[in-house]
């Protein structure tokens, strides 16, 4: 199991603020406690209201900002996991289309509705982001040149309160994993708010279907 570098995660979270926003699109669905979809949305991130931008940045930031190697854990995909018909291909498709393919999103929502265990209505939010990774000099100071653009999705599972108001995420994930300041498409970083009582179905039945 790979150890997640805390500094890599903090580097990402610094791009998840209103002034340094790295997200271009947000999509999601609302589910009842039985997994039936109550509604979906898909919007350009910067067309949200300022309040909604700040709210969704805070929810997304929960994943990489959580305690590494405890609440945030790295999971590798095997060669079999990356074959046709598995979730890995769906995640790659969602990343590559930048969440603009509603058919792929619908497949993902149906999988979640079937497999995710919830005690109350919940919302799933998926954000697509890109980060132009600056090169670091030997003294670790940034040279502000880039060799790679890290394109990724962050997904959160949030219980709903009141009128479709999302509470703090109970779990979520970052794909591809961000390892050694680079995209690792053969891994995913999974967030669990409660590491003593995690949503194991997210790993066992959704991500590694």
Q: Is residue 185 part of a domain?
A: yes
Query: pLDDT tens digits for 22-80?
Result: 999 999 999 999 999 999 999 999 999 999 999 999 999 999 999 999 999 999 999 99
pLDDT score for 144 = 54
Q: Is residue 179 part of a domain?
A: yes
Count, in order, helices (H) and strands (E) of the chain.
5, 10
* Domain range enclosing 56: 6-207
As given in the structure block, the two tokens for residue 99 are 């969440």
Query: pLDDT tens digits for 121-178?
Result: 999 999 999 999 988 755 555 555 567 999 999 999 999 998 889 999 999 999 999 9
The predicted model scores a pTM of 0.94
pLDDT score for 179 = 95
Q: Is residue 62 part of a domain?
A: yes
pLDDT at 90 over 90: yes
Q: How many domains does the chain have?
A: 1
Q: Is residue 106 part of a domain?
A: yes
Q: What span, in angstroms and rounded, lies between the C-alpha atoms of 26 and 17? A: 15
Chain-wide mean pLDDT for the chain?
94
Residue in 63, 197, 204, 39 with CA at minimum distance from that of residue 119? 197
Q: Is residue 1 part of a domain?
A: no
Q: Is residue 110 part of a domain?
A: yes
DSSP string, 54-123: HHHHHHHHHHHHSPBTTTEEEEEPPTTTTSTTSHHHHHHHHHHTTT--HHHHHHHHHHHHHH---SS-EE
How far is residue 205 from each of residues 3, 115, 156, 164, 208, measured CA to CA in Å?
23, 6, 16, 26, 6
pLDDT score for 159 = 96
């Amino acid at each position: 199991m790979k150890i997640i570098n805390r500094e890599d995660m903090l580097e990402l979270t610094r791009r998840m603020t209103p002034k340094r926003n790295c997200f271009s699109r947000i999509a999601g669905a609302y589910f009842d406690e039985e997994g039936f979809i109550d509604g979906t949305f898909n919007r350009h991130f910067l067309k949200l209201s300022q309040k909604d931008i700040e709210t969704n940045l805070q929810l997304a930031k929960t994943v990489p900002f959580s305690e590494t190697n405890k609440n945030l854990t790295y999971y590798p995909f095997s060669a079999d996991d990356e074959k046709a018909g598995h979730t890995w291909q769906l995640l790659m498709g969602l990343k590559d289309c930048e969440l603009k393919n509603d058919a792929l999103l619908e497949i993902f929502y149906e999988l979640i509705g079937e497999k995710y265990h919830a005690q109350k209505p919940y919302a799933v939010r998926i954000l697509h982001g890109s980060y132009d990774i600056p090169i670091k000099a030997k003294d670790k100071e940034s040279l502000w040149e880039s060799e790679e653009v890290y394109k990724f999705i962050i997904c959160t599972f949030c219980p709903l309160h009141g009128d479709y108001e999302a509470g703090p995420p109970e779990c979520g994930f970052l794909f591809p994993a961000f390892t050694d300041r680079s995209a690792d498409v053969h891994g995913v970083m999974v967030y669990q708010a409660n590491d003593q009582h995690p949503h194991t179905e997210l790993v066992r039945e959704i991500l590694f279907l």
